[in-house]
Amino acid sequence: MARGRAHSDRVKAAAIAALLAGGTVCGVAREHNLPKGTVSGWTRQVRSVRPKKEIADLIASYLRELLTALTTLAKSCADREWLTKQDARELAVLFGVMADKALVVLAAIVREESEAMECAPQ
């Protein structure tokens, strides 16, 4: 049996889209003027349709290998002899891409931490 007020499919879809885009429960609830409990329930529904464990394991493995490769590449970039043999334009692109990727990882960590703090009582 449903409790509280029913929300339109449009509101629910917008809130779920915001969650899938990386929004926090508290942020989405505030943005759409919804109870946190409602958004939290929708989050559980979204999580229930995540990929099967095998796919999740492949994604985790891929990310692990990618981060290992990026770490190896970063170590190569610290080698002065290797650096002097590289084209400046190509190095600029390489460093730009590496910095962008590092910022994406950091943003994900910060988002996770801020969600935990955002919902804490003040």
Whole-model pTM: value is 0.42
Establish how many alpha carbons lie within 13 A of residue 113's alpha carbon, considering only the half-sphere containing its beta carbon: 6
Give the pLDDT confidence score for residue 73 in this predicted structure.
83
CA–CA dist 50, 45 (Å, integer): 9
Please check the confidence at residue 1 and state whether its pLDDT lies above 60.
no
10 Å CB burial of residue 70 (0-12, 13-18, 19+) is: middle
The pair of structure tokens assigned to 34 is: 């919804």
Average pLDDT, the chain: 80
pLDDT digits (tens, 9 = 90+) for 31-80: 889 999 898 888 877 766 655 677 667 777 887 888 888 888 888 888 88
- Residue 40 near residue 25 (C-beta atoms within 8 A): yes
* Whole-number pLDDT of residue 51: 57
Share of the chain above pLDDT 70, in %: 82
